[in-house]
Structure 1
């Protein structure tokens, strides 16, 4: 991704997160001043929507913003962001990862999850695993939809050549993020699910996943 484009993405997400935090603080003050609001359905709905919007922006900042420099991303931040992103949605996400993940790997991970979500049009489950030298996002659900024009280029760590819709931009960014993280990308499909995996090509770190049997 162009550095300027990534910085613009980071800036937009950063500037939108702050007002959402202010709204949350305002709701807390209102609940303290008016006890009837504290446990109302309206307040709960606003709080849930606010939490989801904040999580979505934080994940978008990580996925679409710059990944260079900075500290590693804590597991709690990634898990909390994914939980908020898919709260009460048609797709559930389970994670298993170390206490922190490097920023470039975290960026590629979030983009891979965003790609994987589109393959489950009727809902399903995504299992995100980071460890033993590879990142793996496995998906299963009642219906798997993986258009070849979007998914086949990923097997070559290549960007799709078709004109993408805004909801598909992650397919253009994932191969770039994986390459910038020094990784290779692997895609496997079977009757009731699929898996997206990436592994580092740099010496002394990750190792390629085992071939499918």
Structure 2
């Protein structure tokens, strides 16, 4: 791996890679919708109609949950400027976790988070989910004080781990073979932390990955 500063990536490259990531995440539920609709259009598949309708409902729920989550995690969702209520963050996270194997354990003490910190929290949730592909739990914590915000996400479960390249990308280190649609997301999370006057790190032990991010108070970060 080669060292690079967060500011070294061209904006158009970052945008293109994040778009690739978003499209990848939405392909599955959208494709499932198309398959279900094809069954409903087939008069010879009347016996599969109930299953197809259930697939439409489930795929629609998944697509909506992922889009709502991505709107804030990657975009400019919510009021700007301002803070995001923790109940709204929990709703978005719960919707996303309903589509994956690990269970969400929500332990956010802060009643609300500044928008960039909220975006960082959601991106760390994505990393927590990907670190526990066989299930388990992802515990989400967030506290605020006069010194700023502290986020901690702990992924625990069978074979929980993180790709070393993704852990490095979280700290702004470019992989030797360049970024792709998967490694760009931890890089983006680290970029948010960096822009908020802090940093994000990942530590892995057996069946456990812990993400910690610190952000300066909004006035100090600005």
TM-score, normalization by structure 2: 0.65
Q: Give yes or no for the alignment of 1:58 onto 2:73.
A: no
* Aligned match of 1:124: 136
Looking at structure 2, the residues matched to 203 and 62 of structure 1 have their Cα atoms a distance apart, in angstroms, of: 18
Greater alpha carbon shift after TM alignment, 181-190 vs 45-54:
45-54
Q: Give yes or no for the alignment of 1:135 onto 2:145.
A: no
Residue pairs, 1:68-107, within 5 angstroms? 69-97=80-108, 98-107=110-119
**Residues matched between the structures, number:** 176
- Is this contact kept in 1: 2:161–2:204, CA < 8 A? no
- Is this contact kept in 1: 2:85–2:111, CA < 8 A? yes
Q: In structure 2, which of residues 177, 180, 193 is the aligned counterpart of residue 165 of structure 1?
A: 180
**Post-superposition CA distance 1:154-200 (Å, at most 9, x none):** 3xx21432433324431221111111122222322222312101112
* Aligned match of 1:186: 201
Looking at structure 1, the residues matched to 189 and 92 of structure 2 have their Cα atoms a distance apart, in angstroms, of: 18
Deviation at 1:88, TM superposition (A): 4.8
Residue pairs, 1:3-42, within 5 angstroms? 5=15
Looking at structure 2, the residues matched to 118 and 143 of structure 1 have their Cα atoms a distance apart, in angstroms, of: 11
**Post-superposition CA distance 1:61-82 (Å, at most 9, x none):** 2122248942311222211111
Instruction: Calculate the aligned-residue CA RMSD, in Å.
Output: 3.4
Deviation at 1:153, TM superposition (A): 4.2
